[in-house]
Every structure is written in C-alpha cells, then in structure tokens.
Structure 1
C-alpha cells in the first residue's frame, strides 16, 4: 500500500440530481440517530433520484473524535472503500458508549489508549484499516473534510445540506419522510 497513492473512496451513495449532504461526528448521539436513518432515506427516495454524501465533522469535545474519523477515512482507502468506512461508522453507532466519555470528560474510557480504541474499531467493524491509518498523507483527506465544513459554515453535527444549501431547520429527530419531502421539494 505504501508504494501506491492513497485513494479514499468518497462517502457518496446514489447518483440522483438531488443532493443530501450530512455532516456527522461519529460518536455524537444526534449524529448516530441521523446516521441510522440514512439507508431508509436512500430506500425511500431512491438512488436514481438522490445522492447522499456523508461528511465527517470532527469535534474536539468528543475527545476520541480525531482518531475515529481518521480510522473511518482510512477504511475508505481499502478495496471495499466506502462500504468499509460505513461498516466502521455502523460499529461506532452500535457501540457508541465504548468510544465516548460520559459528559465528554469522565467515565470508563478515561484509561483507554489510542491503540485500544483502534483495536475496538477493528473488532466491532471487522475492518482492518491499520495500514492506511498509518499513512501520513491520510491527513490530506481529514483536512479536506474540515475545510469543506468550514467553507460551508458547518460547526456542529449533525448538520444537513440540500443541493448545497445548509438546512438549519432539519434535525436528527425528524422522520425520514420529512427529510425526503424536503429533498424532493
């Protein structure tokens, strides 16, 4: 893998004209709630009618955020690409308490090392992204996600955009049908 260029697979599903972008922090409970609705949104609207783009929004108050985002993007560099990244996102969503602090500052994870965190990600997802995780140039992809969010005025997660415009009134608690209606309007 070191001899070739690192090529992250964009976290994009569908190929329709209406674009639904979502900015997620993987351990945020609201992002998890939104992430868990994305497959249903694609099924409801259809991959021919919409394009779903997941953008990662690392946030410093989620203390393991940087390590987890890096692992997700590393997974996207594997032959399974975005599906490997999605498996890591699913693993974090399904086991969120193992990747987050209580009140962002205390709890069982206080003694967790980055190596233990990576082992948990690999164990729960079944995705071994150690090799691309270890590549320094992966930070270019991480920086791209950060810059893209900043350029669009995104500071928290989850945040939603439809056809390039931020939708401040869409939330993770909304029904999938509500998202679909807004997307198709």
Structure 2
C-alpha cells in the first residue's frame, strides 16, 4: 500500500536518510494499536533491537511503515492515535520517538485509567507525552481539543484538527481488511508467520531469508 506524503513520519526515520538511493524497496508494514500490549511488544523489539540491523544491512532495500490501527472496543485507542496524527502533522520526524514513549506509558491509557476523565483531559496527557520528545505540546493540544460550543454552522459534531486524517487511516485499513493488532504485511501480502513474540534473532533470520 502506498504511503501518503502527509503520513511520511510513519516510515522508520533512520531510513529517511537513504531515501534518495532507494529504487524498488521492499515494504514491511506493521499495523499497531497504541493501547494493545502485543503491539507494544512488537514495536519495542523492532524499534530497540531490529532497527540497528535494518539500518546496517537493509537500509537501501527496505522501508518499515508503522500503520496506526485503531481498535474501537477500547475508546482511548482513537484518542491515542489522534495524538499520533497530530505529531505526524506537526513534527513527522518525531513520530517514532513519540510512539516509543507512548507505548512505554500505554497502561496510563487503558480503559480503567481513562474511564473517569473527560476526552479533553486525556488529550492533555497525550500532548504532554508529545512535549516530552520536543514536539510543541500546546500545538498538539490545539489540534486535539474538541470544543463544547456549536460550530459556525451550528453543528455539534465537528471533531478536531486531526479528524480528517484519522478518517483516512481508518479507511485505508478497512480497504485491506486488517482487524487485529499487530498485523504485518510484506510487499502488500499479509505475513502471518510474524507475531508479537518474534525475537530479534527471529527477525534477523526472517529478514535474511526475505530481503533480496
């Protein structure tokens, strides 16, 4: 699946430096949800252990794309991914760093930890996480906050500054039928052999076998 330029930050940043040399790269897409423990497990392995391997051996042959995957049975999933969309809009180069910190603190956004706060209060905590990786916290919050006043057309359902981006992400995921997280696609085909428990050694073996 193509990567819209507005979501360019979803590509693993270290690979951006070699973008000019890329001809026909392999594309590894990882569909992750910020409030899914299994997504956190896969992200941490890729970001902390597999990333150096990719940069060293496959930088000119592989793109790794973080596809944001909302799972609406956890209401805070939408809110966390809206924060990710805000970071993509304001500072795409910080998206993976922001995601790393959010996954580290994901339990703070599990159902039991958000049920008694308002949506805008949750946004304030998410904006603070963006601020911790040097993204402008107030600008993130400005994109996320939902007004309690009618819009200019008296609408009461106007969303926020990233609603349209979230719609695009959800539509793209629905088109290919991704349901659970994490889900992995390689060159447009679901790679069911890869799961959240894949170790760095297993990733190395898989990459050696599949990246020409």
With the shorter chain as reference, the TM-score category is 0.7 to 0.9
Equivalent residue, structure 1, for 2:106:
96
Runs of 4+ in structure 1 off by over 6 angstroms are: none
Structure with more of its chain in helix, by fraction = 2
In 2, Cα distance between equivalents of 1:66 and 1:99: 11
> Which structure 1 residue ranges, 5 or more long, are not aligned?
1-6, 102-106
How far did 1:108 drift?
Answer: 4.0
How far did 1:176 drift?
Answer: 2.4
The counterpart of 1:130, out of the listed 130, 141, 152, is 141
> Which structure 2 residue ranges, 5 or more long, are not aligned?
1-5, 146-158
How far did 1:88 drift?
Answer: 3.0
Confirm whether residue 23 of structure 1 aligns to residue 31 of structure 2.
Answer: yes
- Let me know the Cα RMSD of the aligned residues: 2.1
Q: Which structure: larger Rg?
A: 2
**Aligned pairs for 1:111-122 within 5 A:** 111-122=116-127
Q: Are the equivalent residues in 2 in contact too, given 1:63–1:100 (CA < 8 A)? A: no
Q: Are the equivalent residues in 2 in contact too, given 1:24–1:31 (CA < 8 A)? A: yes
Q: Are the equivalent residues in 2 in contact too, given 1:91–1:121 (CA < 8 A)? A: no
How far did 1:133 drift?
Answer: 3.1
Q: TM-score, normalised by structure 2?
A: 0.72
Total equivalences in the alignment: 172
In 2, Cα distance between equivalents of 1:11 and 1:26: 14
